[in-house]
Structure 1
Amino acid sequence: RTQVRLRSSMKLLDIAEVARRSGLPPSTLRFYEEKGLIASVGRHGLRRLFGPDVLERLALVTLGRSAGFALDELAGLFKSGDKPRIDRQQLAARADELDRTIRQLAAVREGLRHAATCPAPSHLECPRFQRLLRVATANQVRRPSKAPPRRKAPPRQ
């Protein structure tokens, strides 16, 4: 209680309010706290309390997840103090990876569009569809697994 009173000048948010504002269920917030992505600053009864900066951190986590970063990679951003340490080279590398993925998906999209309107009696008789199959197979074979499978966040409640 003393800790809560000392920080009363700051607008503390309980876990329910953070969940409401962020759109994340409390179970995910607890999981993110366990992973070191966010930190509670105290408790009011059984409810965790967070500083107002937690919403910004959650927005960074959401953006990072959208870009394909693993939670462990994102946790590394927050290890030293309050402000995240964002590795610009890592961001550029991820952007390059996204560019490659976008090019691959665009090629697949165009192949599917062609296949949908192809006049060939069978898709397997279409040279363009055959190229699409070769490209898809080559991408599958060349694509090494870079990291272990991601642990999924707890389901939304």
Structure 2
Amino acid sequence: MSTSPSNEILLDIGEVAARTGLAPSALRFYEKRGLIAPTGRNGLRRTYRPDVLERLGLITCARSAGFTIAEIARFLEARPGDELLRARMADKARELDERIAQLTRMRDSLDHAAVCTHEPLVECPDFKRAVRNVYAPA
């Protein structure tokens, strides 16, 4: 941690990487794509304001949800009237609902397998049905 001339606390790239779990190369990539911006340098190391951690949390969340870097960049600049982006977000929410339902079915099949006494397990009719349902539409 360092301070700027105005005594603002700054984080260097290593500290940001450690706090977020992101590699410094990912931070440099996000910077190159305009998703984050350093405040300057402390020697050879980039420095960032602490609020970059929140922004990186949002970026990580959006990446986990399946948004592309271009979509995230657009999202970070979005205004309430951006109907195309809102539609994409609604589509992504539906995709996540489907994935959550699929993961729930997968969990249920594993819960059954954990207590099933059928020999062999893979021939258990309940287990077979559960596995078949994992990728079935909800």
1:120 aligns with 2:90: no
C-alpha RMSD of matched pairs (Å)? 3.2
Contact map agreement 1:39 1:50 (CA 8 A) in 2: yes
Contact map agreement 1:10 1:51 (CA 8 A) in 2: no
Question: Identity percentage over the alignment?
Answer: 50
Normalised TM-score (structure 1): 0.60
Q: Displacement, 1:38? A: 1.0
Please point out which of 35, 38, 41 is paired with 2:36.
38
Supply the distance in 2 between the matched residues of 1:37 and 1:85 (Cα, whole angstroms). 16
Gaps of 5+ in 1: 1-6, 143-157
1:109 aligns with 2:107: yes
Contact map agreement 2:108 2:130 (CA 8 A) in 1: no
* 2:8 partner amino acid: K
After TM superposition, the structure 1 stretch with the greater mean CA deviation from structure 2, 20-29 or 30-39, is 20-29
Q: From the superposition, tell whether residues 49 and 102 of structure 1 become closer, same or farther in structure 2 (CA, over 3 Å).
A: same
**Partner SS, residue 132 of structure 2:** helix
- What residue number does 2:65 align with? 67
Higher RCO, 1 or 2 (CA under 8 Å, sep at least 6)? 1
Q: Displacement, 1:10? A: 7.6
- What residue number does 1:26 align with? 24
Q: Displacement, 1:52? A: 4.6
Supply the distance in 1 between the matched residues of 2:57 and 2:122 (Cα, whole angstroms). 46
* 1:125 partner amino acid: E
1:119-143 Cα distance to aligned partner (Å, 9 max, x none): 433234322222234334xx39x9x
